Amino acid sequence: MMDAEIIAVGSELLTPFRLDTNSLYLTGKLNALGIEVRFKTIVGDDRQRLAEVFSTALKRSRWIVVTGGLGPTEDDLCREVVAEVLERPLQEDPRIRRKIEARFARAQERLSPGDVRDTQRIPPGGTPGWATFALRGGVRVAERLTVDVGLENLGNRDYRHHGSGVNEPGAQAVLSVGWGF
């Protein structure tokens, strides 16, 4: 069986406010293809740490899937770091760029007034708006043990984070256990 490793990039994923649903989705898709996911790593937006994580993954996994850290903001370092580790230059293909721009332009519904001036990050026509609803709760079971549960995207809407180009999955349940030291 082939093996894979997933690296989720983004400092927001290291907080209690953002869940890494992309890795769950990708694991399901890879497993359906007969590819076993043996490692999942979350790394913040830090050049050195990302380089270390990617270098380690190269040594132990046949397939590496990286999610996040690919946006247009300054803290999205993934492309540059992976290119450095692989010792490969980044190249832009004008034909691919035109196809991506056309795809985003077709998918846009509106552009907020604050984004009108941001031509570097927001594609022509804007990005779609959305809202999801979630319930979360938690309980301290013991002095150092907490259990949290959540139901997210209760409307089961397909939504897209601003400028990401990636749709998020529908409704989901989350269970987490925390142990304090």
> Which pLDDT belongs to residue 181?
75
> Which pLDDT belongs to residue 110?
52
Which helix H or strand E contains 52, and what residues bound it?
helix 47-60
Listed as ranges, residues in the chain with pLDDT below 70 are 71-73, 104, 106-132, 156-169
Give 129-149 pLDDT, tens digit per residue: 556 677 888 888 888 888 888
Spatial strand order in the sheet of 145-152: 135-142, 145-152, 172-179
> Which pLDDT belongs to residue 123?
47
What residue ranges do the domains of the chain occupy? 1-91, 94-128, 130-181
Q: Are strands 135-142 and 167-168 parallel, antiparallel or unpaired?
A: unpaired
> Which pLDDT belongs to residue 93?
78
Which helix H or strand E contains 84, and what residues bound it?
helix 78-86
Question: 31 and 65 in contact (C-beta within 8 Å)?
Answer: no
pTM beyond 0.85: the answer is no
The one-character DSSP state at 66 is E
> Which pLDDT belongs to residue 151?
81
| CATH architecture entry for 1-91 | 3-Layer(aba) Sandwich (3.40)
> Which pLDDT belongs to residue 180?
79
